[in-house]
Structure 1
Amino acid sequence: MKVLFIGGTGNISTPSSHLALSKEMDLFLLNRGNSKVEIEGASTIIGDINKPEELTELKKHSWDVVVNWIAFTPEDIERDLELFRGKTKQYIFISSASCYQTPLRYPIITESTPVCNNLWDYSSQKIQCEERLLKAYREEGFPMTIVRPSHTYGTVTPLAIGGFNKYNVIDRILKGKEIIVHGDGTSLWVVTHADDFAKGFVGLLGLTTAIGHAFHITSDEVLSWNMIYKITAEALGKEANIVHIASDFICKVEPSFTGSLLADKAESVIFDNTKIKTFVPGFKATIPYSEGIKRTLNWLQEKPERQWIDPDTEAKIENVLRAYKSLTA
């Protein structure tokens, strides 16, 4: 099977690249050649997807599957439709579980849960991408599949404020500093290791019955935010010095947190993975957070340059803490 990954060396996509190669897929990666991640066994096409006029090598090929890991806007989709009409048997768009109805009317999410999130431009744009692809599927038979990852980690930490690709919250835990947990920390959340995500995702590659469908792929482990931070601290051999602050207050003091917090992480979510398990029999997430976060922390601590402490984020955390203490004094 001849597969093109646009991207393929990121937090989520790297394990999928490795798994696809282990299944003897003929994998090509389209990127600008700037990534420090090497995917041994994959063929690389050097180019910028945003400059299609320069992609002469890409245009020589036809594909069984094209996956765009880095499409975010409807304009990206229009470009891909032009590039891959008649050139691929399946096109997979990486959307986001943050597209689901916000706030939720029912806490258990299936693929039939409405997509509607006007609180975060990122989610709104992803929804517009999905709608354009559905239109192309209905009107011209474009062979699209939509995948909605949720909070997936591997080389990033799945922590709400000062986490992801930043080392701020880990550094604060290590130093015994106060860390912010939104709300009272009892809302429920699902985090998924990228190696587990890959098992479900690679099973969709070339799957004819998946065309026209949308899937989310997550762990079945449900944790409170308090537990997520507690487990993270335990993996560091520390105790989390948690300060609970209401999400509304956090975002009032620092509006830049609004998208990722109020539009995504402020309420409980539970995912029903029946659909992906039906289409990819045997799929099961097997890496509990207590094990997965240790893998992530070990990877981050291998090289100092991976431990990026963002001074702007640090200042925002301190600003929220000061404002909260001033209010409650």
Structure 2
Amino acid sequence: MSALRVLFLGGAGMIGSAVAREAVEQGIDLTVVTRGVHRRRLPAEVRGIRADVRDRAALDDALDGAEYDVVVNWVGFSPNDVLPDVERFAGRTGQYVFVSTCSVFGRPAPQLPITESSPRRHPVFGYAREKLAAELVLEEAYRERGLPLTIVRPMHTYDETTMIFPVTWTAIERMRRGLPSVVHGDGTSLWTLTHSSDVARALVPLLGNTHAIGESVNLVGGDILTWDQIHTTLATAAGIRDPRLAHFSSEAIGRAVPGWAEVLQEDFRHSILFDTTKLRRLVPGYHPRISFSEGARRIIAWHEEDASRRAFDDDLSAAFDRLIANG
């Protein structure tokens, strides 16, 4: 039996590279289209194509009429990004997978846990609003044009190279110095974190899975934690005992650090829990392997390996100090 032929549009970032490794391990014949040098190392078995995915003519030339069993769009962020794919791939692939985000679900959720049928609504948060608009365009193409669509939605995903925003390395250094790290709200709202390798183990079995066509699937798992627990777990991994935390409203933090206002106020302030029934039905036996305790140790170890990875943001620290001083 020939290997499943899969095309990634983009996919050399944190999640995409993890999925690429898992795909190759599962015997998938993988081609990845990117416009530049890969940010993450991809397996040697991956076939690379250099092209700008958003340049319609350049992508058509690069693909040269080749057809794939599955196409995965990693870089679509708006309807304009995905509309050309409807023309290009409807009738020419067995499955089109759009990588969206769990941020499309309305905040606060009217009922927890969130399922794939929970209300989607985000009129303010730009990233989620555009992703949702792209989902709606593709769903119409599935109904009207027969695009064999699967929507997958990762939640907050990380690996060892990333901090858990809004926790930064500056927060780690402040706690090491005995200074408070700023936490939004009272620190008790619930959040879900998933390691990129666990997202990969959830996503790859959906590729070429006919039961997933016409479906949306939330790719979530891992630990359900409060934001205080996220901070203290990272602190413990960094060898910090009794870290100091200072709690402020999302609005107050947003005034002190304007770049954080939208994501804190429209997304992170709300408790988020997920029902994973559909994922486990489509991927029997799936369960996450990397706890956040283990993930936090990997994060700290990676950052400790190289001083250049441990940037301290003096402006951010000063903003925290002003926030704390003003109460």
TM-score norm. by structure 2 comes to 0.92
TM superposition outliers: structure 1 runs of 4+ over 6 Å: none
Give the conservation status (yes or no) of the 8 Å contact 1:180–1:317.
no
Query: CA 1:181–1:277 in 2, change beyond 3 Å: closer, same or farther?
Result: same
Instruction: Within 5 Å, give how 1:189-200 maps onto structure 2.
Output: 189-200=191-202
Give the conservation status (yes or no) of the 8 Å contact 1:220–1:273.
no
TM-score norm. by structure 1 comes to 0.91
Separation in structure 2 between the aligned mates of residue 19 and residue 287 of structure 1, nearest angstrom: 15
Query: CA 1:79–1:42 in 2, change beyond 3 Å: closer, same or farther?
Result: same
Which residue number in structure 1 is paired with residue 46 of structure 2?
42
User: Which whole-Å deviations, capped at 9, do the CAs of 1:156-210 have from their partners, x for residues lacking one?
Assistant: 44534253xxx43334344444311111111111111111111110110011110
Amino acid at match of 2:72: V
Amino acid at match of 2:315: A
Separation in structure 1 between the aligned mates of residue 305 and residue 96 of structure 2, nearest angstrom: 36
Query: CA 1:320–1:47 in 2, change beyond 3 Å: closer, same or farther?
Result: same
Give the conservation status (yes or no) of the 8 Å contact 1:160–1:261.
no
Query: CA 1:155–1:70 in 2, change beyond 3 Å: closer, same or farther?
Result: farther
Separation in structure 2 between the aligned mates of residue 162 and residue 199 of structure 1, nearest angstrom: 26
Which residue number in structure 2 is paired with residue 288 of structure 1?
291
Unaligned runs of 5+ in 1: none
Instruction: Within 5 Å, give how 1:226-241 maps onto structure 2.
Output: 226-239=228-241, 240-241=243-244
What secondary structure does 1:222 align onto?
Answer: strand
Give the conservation status (yes or no) of the 8 Å contact 1:157–1:293.
no
Percent identity over the alignment? Answer: 35
CA apart distance, 1:155: 4.0
Which residue number in structure 2 is paired with residue 121 of structure 1?
126
Q: 1:263 aligns with which of 262, 266, 277?
A: 266
Query: CA 1:307–1:64 in 2, change beyond 3 Å: closer, same or farther?
Result: farther
What secondary structure does 2:221 align onto?
Answer: coil
What secondary structure does 1:77 align onto?
Answer: helix
Determine whether 1:112 maps to 2:108: no
Separation in structure 2 between the aligned mates of residue 289 and residue 151 of structure 1, nearest angstrom: 12
Which residue number in structure 2 is paired with residue 23 of structure 1?
26
* RMSD of equivalent CA atoms: 1.8
CA apart distance, 1:324: 4.2
Question: Which piece of structure 1 moves more, 263-272 or 248-257?
Answer: 248-257
User: Which whole-Å deviations, capped at 9, do the CAs of 1:236-291 have from their partners, x for residues lacking one?
Assistant: 11143311111122123433212221111102111111100001101111211000
What secondary structure does 1:48 align onto?
Answer: coil
Which residue number in structure 2 is paired with residue 252 of structure 1?
255
What secondary structure does 2:200 align onto?
Answer: helix
User: Which whole-Å deviations, capped at 9, do the CAs of 1:125-181 have from their partners, x for residues lacking one?
Assistant: 000000000000000110111111111101444534253xxx433343444443111
Aligned length: 321
Amino acid at match of 1:194: S
Separation in structure 1 between the aligned mates of residue 172 and residue 323 of structure 2, nearest angstrom: 22
Give the conservation status (yes or no) of the 8 Å contact 1:220–1:271.
no
Amino acid at match of 2:146: G
Determine whether 1:77 maps to 2:82: yes
Which residue number in structure 2 is paired with residue 63 of structure 1?
68
Separation in structure 2 between the aligned mates of residue 36 and residue 216 of structure 1, nearest angstrom: 25
Amino acid at match of 2:111: Y
Separation in structure 1 between the aligned mates of residue 310 and residue 12 of structure 2, nearest angstrom: 19
Separation in structure 2 between the aligned mates of residue 245 and residue 257 of structure 1, nearest angstrom: 13
Unaligned runs of 5+ in 2: none
